[in-house]
Structure 1
Amino acid sequence: MIKKIILSATFFTLPWLAVANVLELNKEAPTTYIVEKGDTLWDISSIFLEQPWLWPKLWRLNPEIDNPHLIYPGDVLRLVYDEQGEPQLIVEEATAPPVEITPREKPTIKLSPKLRKQAKKEPVATLPLHVIAPYIQYDHLLTQAQVDTLPYVIGSDEGYKSSMDGFKVYVNDDLIPGKSYAMYYVDEEIIDPETDKSLGYNVKLTGTAQVVRAGNMAERRPSTMLVNSANREIRSGNLVLPINEGQLLPSFFTMQSADPSLRGVIVKSATDGREFGKLEVVMINRGSEHAVKVGDVLSIQRQSPAVVETKDGPQYKATASRWDRLTSGGEAEYDMPEEPLGEVMVFKVYDQASMALILRTSKPARLLDIVAAPKP
């Protein structure tokens, strides 16, 4: 019986330059692993590899398997080595052993081993996209220019400042009849802590509507939309964007190590918390202007607390007295290392910022933690 788990084909189309690195197995990598329910490919690859994004080089085509990109919970993954000594991960296939039937009055019949396929439910996903989808659907990052120029709701047919399902709202633009639009309210401005410059405005979805009557702004006549879904109060001033603009997700992500020069910090989390863990969404202060790409994997790093030498011995700079900090001098302060504590994968790229999913953390990540290209 062939048992399989989904490894997205796209996931394995990484540029070979990205996977040309020498594979480094974890010191405690097992020789076999039984896939468990709830596993993701990142979880599994992290068990075997120091650099999980190099999974395609570890996984090889098994000619006994029609589709090597499918495995399921319960499958046994075995770590083997090829003729060149390179590690290889394969799925152990269940086969029917030779069967010999020897009743007294019948001839002996030998059955050759065969592979039988049995469809299974719920294959293991490349990444849990359902974690990303709500944030993509409900939140967005807009520039100052977009906030200043996008059309917006000017009122409703009831004369209220807010509306719910079934109301008609009016928009100061010539919208296309029959087309659906999303409405957003402008939340906080995101400031880059490193440059003090604006990264954009975080906007949140208030509802969706369909245009039922075109406007003519040359005659100061707004377009009319019928609200078909309201997530929260829809108010005058809510920005209007074509539905799904900038919101569509690929079915699968091609992962690659980020550009070696890339370095930034975490500036916000989807939950607005100060600490966050695996499968939470965060924003980093680097985007397309910094060569960030969808699928980039970055290491989360944190600077170890500063230590200074004082007359009483080494002390943490944060807790040392003001006198000790002033008199210790630069030469007395140690250059403390940055320690890795996890990885993130970029799934949405703006001009100056990006959204990323935390793939793994050994301890809670925090605002202002460093994100950088993983070290080889």
Structure 2
Amino acid sequence: MLKKAFTVLAGTMVAAAVCAAGAAQLRSNHPDSYTVRRGDTLWGISAKFLVKPWLWPEIWQANPQVRNPHLIYPGDVLNLSFINGASLKLEPSLHREGAAVPAIPLDALKTFLKDLRVMDSSAVSKAPYVVGLEENRLDGAPGQNIYVRGLDSQPGQRWAIVRPEHVFRGFDNGSDGTAIYGDELYANAALVKSPWEEDFNNGSGHYLRGRDMGLEVKVIGTAEMLRPGDPSTLLVVDSTSEIHKGDRLMPVNDNPYDPYFYPHAPQSLPKDGRVIAFTGAMDAVGPYQVVALSVGAKDGVDNGTTFAVWHPGEYIHDDVAGNSWRRGVGPHVTLPDEYIGHLMVFRTFDHVSYGLVMDGLRPVKKGDKLKLPD
């Protein structure tokens, strides 16, 4: 009886593996084998043989040889086989080179993983702040003392020095019940270069108003408590920018992110999720660039959540059904949304997330919609 039950269980596992492999369809021109190289990512490798690269956990976790897809190293050989459907076989190398292959290029995301946080504005405003600097200097540097108000700490404890940089806002659009979003440089950091493209006017005529979705702060240094008091005396240990009056202090985050990411569809699609900001460009971004999203942990989004990005269909005049000379009053039509590509969330906050554009047919722009991956 036990043997029979085991046989049924084994058959069920094989069926599940075949089903998973079927969902993760292979490209017609996939290679028979691939040798992992230094600089590869799991997503990039999967793109070589899967139609939908974000489904790589389905095919790899269904294969008993790959116990942990994150423990794949340069020199390992990935072989595809076709026994009862597609599966993947890993042939570990005898001499592994370097660290395991990451899911996404983490080196390009260090600033967003370690140095940036999106927090509630009220929490930032209540945080301890720098009130003065040694010898009444205008700015502070490593090796110098700073004076902080509102800090309850013991000597020797280290604190992160942060600077408010960016505000993400949501605006209710009463015309159709949807929301629109804007981002702007924080008013008290007007001289601080932000990684996000600045947009004081979000396109709807709103300036410095709207629903506060979070205040982005950047870690610019660390300081060690020397003498408690009000103000307290701290020593600047290191910094990437000059320390100014008004900079805030927050606990050091020793483990700001998880280096392992498993792409997966959201459990449910958050309402009206949008791309609200991006970096390194004036108008649009492409693969392996970072975007900010209008959804976060309180919307059910976690690390690895993968979205399809769609550009909203344009609202145009129907020149065929109406007089093209009377566009203001003639018939109009909204064109279908256009598919752009995929992005994967790599860090979440309450109402905002950071995502990495993984692939795309065309550039990603602000206002693009988030949908379930196809």
Which of the five TM-score ranges fits, normalised by the shorter chain?
0.7 to 0.9
State the 1:73 CA deviation.
4.7
| Identity, % of aligned positions | 27
Pick the aligned partner of 1:202 from 201, 211, 216: 216
Which residue, 159, 162, 170 being the options, matches 1:181? Answer: 159
Alignment CA distance shift 1:309-1:58 (3 Å): same
On the 8 A contact 1:79/1:87 being kept in 2, the answer is yes
Q: Distance in 1 between matches of 2:269 and 2:68?
A: 37
Matches within 5 A, 1:83-162: 83=84, 86-91=85-90, 117-121=94-98, 123-162=100-139
Residue 191 (structure 2) pairs with residue 214 (structure 1)? no
Query: Which residue number in structure 2 is paired with residue 329 of structure 1?
Result: 331
- Cα distance in 1 between the residues matched to 2:240 and 2:326: 55
Query: Could you state the TM-score of these two structures normalised by the residue count of structure 2?
Result: 0.75
Q: 2: distance between equivalents of 1:272 and 1:214?
A: 44
C-alpha distance in structure 1 between counterparts of 2:222 and 2:250, whole Å: 10
**What does residue 361 of structure 1 align with?**
360
Task: Output the amino acid matched with 2:336.
Answer: P
Distance in structure 2 (CA, Å) of the matches to 1:328 and 1:140: 48
In structure 2, how many angstroms separate the alpha carbons of the residues matched to 1:276 and 1:211? 42
Total equivalences in the alignment: 317
Report the alpha carbon displacement of residue 174 of structure 1 after superposing the two structures with TM: 2.0
Instruction: Kindly indicate whether residue 140 of structure 2 is the aligned counterpart of residue 163 of structure 1.
Output: yes
| Cα displacement string for residues 68-101 of structure 1 (whole angstroms, at most 9, x for unaligned residues) | 7654456553332223xx21122468xxxxxxxx
Distance between the aligned counterparts of 2:268 and 2:319, measured in 1?
Answer: 37
Q: Matched residues in 2 for 1:68 and 1:264: separation? A: 30
The question of 1:275 aligning with 2:284 is answered: yes
Preserved CA contact (<8 Å) 1:42 1:52: yes
Question: Hey, what's the Cα distance between the residues in 1 that align with 2:28 and 2:256?
Answer: 39
Change (3 A) 1:171 1:280: same
Task: Normalising by structure 1, report the TM-score.
Answer: 0.74
Q: Secondary structure at the match of 1:175?
A: coil
Match of 1:11 in 2: none
Q: Which position in structure 1 is the counterpart of 2:59? A: 58
3-state SS of 2:123 partner:
helix
CA displacement 1:343-367 (0-9 Å, x = unmatched)? 1111221111111122222322122
Task: Specify whether residues 89 and 241 from structure 1 end up closer, same or farther in structure 2 by C-alpha distance, changes over 3 A only.
Answer: same
The structural deviation recorded for 1:230 is 1.9
Query: Partner of 1:38 in structure 2?
Result: 39
Structure 1 letter corresponding to 2:120: T
Structure 2 counterpart of 1:252: 260
1:203 deviates by: 1.8
Aligned counterparts of 2:251 and 2:161: Cα–Cα separation in 1:
9
Over the aligned positions, Cα root-mean-square deviation in angstroms equals: 3.0
* Offset of residue 328 of structure 1: 2.5
Q: Give the secondary-structure state (helix, strand or coil) at the position aligned to 1:25.
A: coil
Shift of 1:122: 5.1
CA 1:287–1:122: 2 relative to 1, 3 Å: closer
Amino acid at match of 2:158: S
Following TM superposition, by how much is the alpha carbon of 1:209 offset from its aligned partner in structure 2, in angstroms? 0.8
Q: Which runs of 5+ in 1 are unaligned?
A: 1-15, 94-115, 216-220, 315-319
Task: State the secondary structure of the residue aligned to 2:111.
Answer: helix
| Equivalent-residue separation in structure 2 for 1:241 and 1:69 (angstroms) | 32
- 1:231-250 CA deviation, whole Å, 9 max, x = no partner? 112111111101127x6111
* 2: CA distance, partners of 1:284 / 1:66: 32
Q: Aligned-pair distance for 1:42?
A: 0.4
Structure 2 counterpart of 1:293, from 293, 297, 302: 302
Residue of structure 2 in register with 1:192 after alignment = 170
Is 1:227 equivalent to 2:236 in the alignment? yes
Decide whether the 8 Å contact of 2:20 with 2:59 is kept in 1.
no
Provide, for residues 50-85 of structure 1, a one-character-per-residue CA deviation record: whole Å limited to 9, x for no partner.
Answer: 33232133225465x8987654456553332223xx
- CA distance 1:260–1:137, shift in 2 (3 Å): same
- One-letter identity of the residue aligned with 1:58: I
Q: Which has the larger radius of gyration?
A: 1
| 1:368 Cα offset (Å) | 1.6
